[in-house]
Homo-oligomer: A and B are copies of this chain.
Amino acid sequence: MPPRDAQTESLRLWVVFARAHAAVAARAQADVARHGLTVAEFGVLEALHHKGPLLLSELKEKILVSNAGVTYLVDRLEGRGLVVRRRCDRDRRAYYAHLTDDGTAFVERIFPEHAAAIEEAFSVLAPDERAIATELLRRVGLHAANGT
């Protein structure tokens, strides 16, 4: 297998990958936009809902935005009464983001439809295909993120 062919196939995979991502992301975006959220905002709510209160720095790792982005998103969600900041006992620099009761109720209300939208987006795959895709992309992600 000469380098050129591996390269051509990788480029082709990247095009396909990027298009698939754009298509699924567009569905996700359309779904959360119905509730007045951006995908990133929804990501914050979802992470807090599933993981419990997180340091802003932890949140940053979960939803893959910049430091300033976390501040921006938490500010916005705080403004909507869905999230509050609480000081960290151990580190005077740090804050946890917590869902409010309203925030929890909101996520519990909107999450099922979002989950259904994502399920539908991948419904073209059989269960075993989905598991294969997950495993392959997991490895790509780890490698591309860490160069390992």
- Spell out A's residues near B (CB within 8 Å): 1, 3, 6-7, 9-14, 16-28, 64, 115-116, 118-119, 121-125, 127, 129-134, 136-145
The smallest beta-carbon distance between A26 and chain B, in angstroms, is 8
Q: How far is the CA of A11 from the CA of B10 in the complex (A)?
A: 25
The smallest beta-carbon distance between A59 and chain B, in angstroms, is 15
In contact, B20 and A115 (Cβ under 8 angstroms): no
In contact, B9 and A127 (Cβ under 8 angstroms): yes
In contact, B133 and A133 (Cβ under 8 angstroms): yes
Query: Of B64, B134, B145, which is within 8 A of A13 by CB?
Result: B134
In contact, B132 and A136 (Cβ under 8 angstroms): yes
In contact, A6 and B127 (Cβ under 8 angstroms): yes
The smallest beta-carbon distance between A63 and chain B, in angstroms, is 10
In contact, A139 and B124 (Cβ under 8 angstroms): yes
List residues of chain B with CB within 8 A of the CB of A132: 132, 136
List residues of chain B with CB within 8 A of the CB of A9: 127, 130-131, 134
List residues of chain B with CB within 8 A of the CB of A27: 144
